[in-house]
Structure 1
Amino acid sequence: MKLRRLIAPLLLFIISGCSKSKDSTPTSNDSIYFPPVTGNSWETILPESLKWKTENIQALYNYLESKHTKSFIVLYNGKMVIEKYFGTHTATTPWYWASAGKTLTSAMVGIAQEEKLLNINNKVSDYIGSGWTSAPLAKENLITCKHLLSMTSGLDDAYNDNSNEALHDCVSPDCLVYKADAGTRWAYDNVYVKLQDVVAKASGKTWNNYFNEKLRDKTGMTGAWIQTGNMSVYWSHARSMARFGLLAFANGKWNGTQIIPAGYFKEAINTSQNINLSYGYLWWLNGKNSYHLPQSQLEINRNLVPNAPADMYCALGKNDQKIYVVPSKKIVVIRMGDAADELNWALSQFDNELWAKINTVIP
């Protein structure tokens, strides 16, 4: 009888202790490391502690250098595992994001929608007025913010051609020409930049000020939007790109604070339309059955990057600016530099070749 009296409280203690331990298990976001918003400190973790194949890292560096890379970063669960700079490029050298910065615009649209400043299902002209294209008014009114996010505006991408410098990146009305009804044709085009005008008008602030306040400064990013030709392009050092990649890895949350709305971000990194399955809201998606190349209506029936994990989503910019986010491996990979092989819009053969090399290091 005495034994029972002793055992009962002990069992109760053990059960309650187990329950408490289970309840206190950190969520996936809780276990992610975030560097301080101010200062330059960033916790590191050794690749050998992750059982990565360290004997192959130098060969990876040699390959990256041969492909005109300027900076290369790999994070694991937020901590810095690899940070390598080539030539005269350093941790403080700014470089352009090119179209990898499209994902910054995607994020800002989601933030503005969460603040009820806009609705992505509303037509673009609700915010910036009619006549922003040269399409007939009835056709222009078909174009919603979501069409710009998903590259399905129906506007003619031939007017955004690398081969014609006079038209390159042109987003004035005379370059935004009707080709098909919105939602019926996918075409990679810089017309998405009109979303920055939408956000500015909807917020009553300049694009730069709203971006800095709502995203850049909250994550400790540095950098600025620089006018390059007809486009505003984001420039920063590689660590700032890594901070944004980490924000994306954490599903829009930074150290406990939801910056990009979670529901919107989930939409952004999933197929946004039924034409190019490998495209979300200005994010490229791996692991789908097919994809369309920029400046092409050809459907290619395979994964976007066969050598990369199927759950990868990525920001891809002209001349091989890269943010790869891979939840299954808990990694974010950053690559900045000149074109690896030849000038390209975003996706290139380099993506698949680089992942073959990364796979020799990260099992």
Structure 2
Amino acid sequence: MFKGLSLILLLLSFTVQAEQWPGEQWPVGARISGPAVEALETYAFPNRDDETRQGIRTDALLVIRDGQLIYERYAAPTTAVTPHLTWSISKSLMATVLGVAYGEGLFKLEDPAAKFYPALTRHPAITLADLLHWASGIDWQEDYEYAPLKSSVVAMLYTRGHRDMAAFTADHGTYAQPGQAFRYSSGDSNLLAAALKTIVGAQRYADYPWTALFEPLGIRNAVWETDATGTFVASSYVYLTARDLARIGLLMARDGRWNDRQLLPKDWVAFNREPFVGYKAHQDEAVPGGQWWLNRAADGAASPWPDAPADTFAALGHWGQALYVIPSEKLVIVRYADDRDGSYRHNELLRLALKAFAGTVQP
């Protein structure tokens, strides 16, 4: 009996020791090469005419498997120590910061957003869950370079709304009842950032992303810009190295646990990865969860990334920024980019990356 128990304890000890976590640096696994990796690189790093900015331009591609760095490549001027603009990946990062506050018991998903951001008096029925689902019902136009004159987000970031982005958003009218319809909105994300100021208190707010999330994960060089009111621009303006963004991916891949600490409650991570029920499949390429994007079938349509497992989810940003998390394959993939013509396809990169790196995790 004691001999059997000793064997079980030995096996458990081996399992704990085998789980890899980054310290100051990532543990490095065996590098993989061969035709599948070459095919991935041919897609991700093609020759491109930078004068016309046509075609795919990958600035960084990094792969973590089972907690180990197994692939990494950069294109100048980006390097392993370059904090890269993440664009709308910032939205998922704000959701992750909010998850720590949720774990502190500071708010509930069903709380009215106006409880924490009183400027939402025009929209008293909006809940924090509605904002997290991009389902506030606030009339918002998320147009970019192709339609700047009617774009709410361009006005918010660069012209009449840039000094106080949350107030600019709150002053918009309504197009639907809160929680009833999905409409992607950088304004919703910046309302979350404004609400966080009250949720954690003004004294903690300026340092909260660092004390709550970045420092526990070992992220040392994050930059998060604010507007003139000191509110974090949750929609757009976080800068991280590829290696540091991968730490966020590993946290999410392991259901909010970092080493022996449950940094995010499991039910928060589950909420992030649950599809919004009001989503219509024709509206976007991926399915919205709680400020994350999901590879889930919706409204009778096929999954958006058919060559990737159904549990794949991602944080996505303008011009091709992507953090892909594939728990079933123990993979985290970071891509930084400068894609300007819309030719990049998430499914194609995932298909090639899975062919190169999946299914070979050592026991």
TM-score bracket relative to the smaller structure: 0.7 to 0.9
Contact 2:193 2:233 in 1 (8 A): no
Contact 2:249 2:323 in 1 (8 A): yes
Question: How big is each residue's C-alpha offset from its partner over 1:91-146, in whole Å with a ceiling of 9 and x where there is no partner?
Answer: 112211111121111112221122122222111111111x437xxx4xx1110000
Question: How big is each residue's C-alpha offset from its partner over 1:26-77, in whole Å with a ceiling of 9 and x where there is no partner?
Answer: 36xx7431111xx4x32211144xxxx6333233223212220000000011
- Determine if the alignment matches structure 1 residue 34 to structure 2 residue 21: yes
- 4+ residue runs over 6 A deviation: none
* Amino acid in the other structure paired with 2:272: A
Aligned equivalent of 1:142, options 125, 132, 141: 125
Q: How far is 1:202 from its partner? A: 1.6
TM-score w.r.t. length of structure 2: 0.81
Cα pair distance change 1:74/1:195, threshold 3 Å: same
Q: How far is 1:147 from its partner? A: 0.2
Q: How far is 1:340 from its partner? A: 6.2
Q: Counterpart in 2 of 1:236?
A: 240
- Determine if the alignment matches structure 1 residue 89 to structure 2 residue 78: yes
Q: How far is 1:252 from its partner? A: 1.1
Q: Counterpart in 1 of 2:313?
A: 313
Q: How far is 1:19 from its partner? A: 4.4
| Counterpart mapping for 1:238-253 below 5 A | 238-253=242-257
Unaligned runs of 5+ in 1: 1-11, 291-298, 343-347
CA distance in 1, matches of 2:2, 2:181: 63
Contact 2:257 2:263 in 1 (8 A): yes
Q: Counterpart in 1 of 2:120?
A: 132
Contact 1:252 1:258 in 2 (8 A): yes
Aligned equivalent of 1:55, options 19, 24, 35: 35
SS in 2 for 1:71: strand
Q: How far is 1:14 from its partner? A: 4.2
Root-mean-square deviation (Å): 2.5
Count of residues in correspondence between the two structures: 322
| Counterpart mapping for 1:9-24 below 5 A | 12-21=1-10, 24=13
Cα pair distance change 1:257/1:16, threshold 3 Å: closer
Q: How far is 1:24 from its partner? A: 4.9
CA distance in 2, matches of 1:276, 1:211: 32
Q: Counterpart in 2 of 1:209?
A: 207
Unaligned runs of 5+ in 2: 47-55, 157-164, 282-286, 359-363
Cα pair distance change 1:252/1:274, threshold 3 Å: same
- Work out the percentage of aligned pairs sharing the same amino acid: 25
Q: Counterpart in 2 of 1:294?
A: none
Q: How far is 1:274 from its partner? A: 4.0
Cα pair distance change 1:309/1:174, threshold 3 Å: closer
Q: How far is 1:300 from its partner? A: 7.7
Contact 1:149 1:281 in 2 (8 A): yes
Contact 1:120 1:146 in 2 (8 A): yes
Aligned equivalent of 1:357, options 338, 352, 356: 352
CA distance in 2, matches of 1:302, 1:88: 38
